[in-house]
């Protein structure tokens, strides 16, 4: 039973990557757009937090690598064990990143839910 389920899931992932149907293409396009936008936000916010925090006395964000690590950790976990920004701009950026991450999760959940619903309809109709 588990092999059958995993095999079906694997086939669906393959069909999404290949955009085998309109439904698969829509999910692939949505996931791709979210990923590209998030990478862009990560890079832009890394530059911003670097310039906002690098001269602050008690910050640990002194290099671009630290800024990229912190920003990526914020987007991936909605928190960071590394440090908290100390500048007002850095704190505002932190809130923006948390809002972005929560919005991305909600958007991905909606996209996958929509995909699963549409695929169930297609499978029921024999497509």
Quick check: is 7 in a domain? no
pLDDT of 38 reads: 95
Establish if 17 belongs to a structural domain: no
Checking if the pLDDT of 37 tops 80, the result is yes
Higher pLDDT, 16 or 84: 16
pLDDT score recorded for residue 82:
65
50, burial (CB in 10 Å: exposed 0-12, middle 13-18, buried 19+): buried
pTM: 0.82
Question: 94: domain CATH number?
Answer: 1.10.287.70
Asked, for residue 21, whether it belongs to a domain, the answer is no
Both structure tokens of 127:
């497509």
pLDDT at residue number 3 = 47
In this predicted structure, the answer to whether residue 5 has a pLDDT above a threshold of 60 is no
End-to-end CA distance of the chain: 22
Q: What is the pLDDT of residue 65?
A: 94
Q: How confident is the model at residue 8 (pLDDT cuts 50, 70, 90)?
A: confident
65 in any annotated domain: yes
Structural domain of 75: 37-124
Q: pLDDT tens-digit profile of 59-113?
A: 889 999 999 999 999 998 866 666 788 889 999 999 999 999 999 999 999 999 9
Residue 32, in any domain of the structure: no
Whether residue 10 lies inside any domain: the answer is: no
Burial of 60 (0-12, 13-18, 19+ CB in 10 A): middle
Tokens 């588990």: give the residue. Answer: 2
In a domain, 3, yes or no: no
CA distance 70 to 47: 11
Please indicate, yes or no, if residue 6 is contained in any of the structural domains: no
pLDDT at 97: 93
Q: How many domains does the chain have?
A: 1
């Amino acid at each position: 039973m588990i092999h059958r389920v995993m095999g079906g899931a694997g086939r669906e992932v393959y069909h999404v990557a290949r955009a085998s149907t309109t439904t698969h293409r829509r999910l692939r396009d949505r996931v791709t757009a979210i990923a590209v936008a998030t990478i862009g936000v990560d890079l832009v916010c890394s530059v911003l937090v670097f310039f906002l925090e690098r001269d602050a006395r008690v910050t640990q964000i002194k290099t671009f690598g630290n800024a990229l690590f912190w920003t990526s950790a914020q987007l991936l976990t909605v928190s960071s064990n590394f440090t908290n920004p100390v500048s007002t701009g850095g704190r505002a950026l932190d809130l923006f990143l948390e809002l972005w991450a929560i919005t991305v999760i909600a958007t991905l959940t909606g996209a996958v839910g929509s995909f699963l619903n549409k695929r169930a309809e297609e499978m029921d109709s024999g497509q």
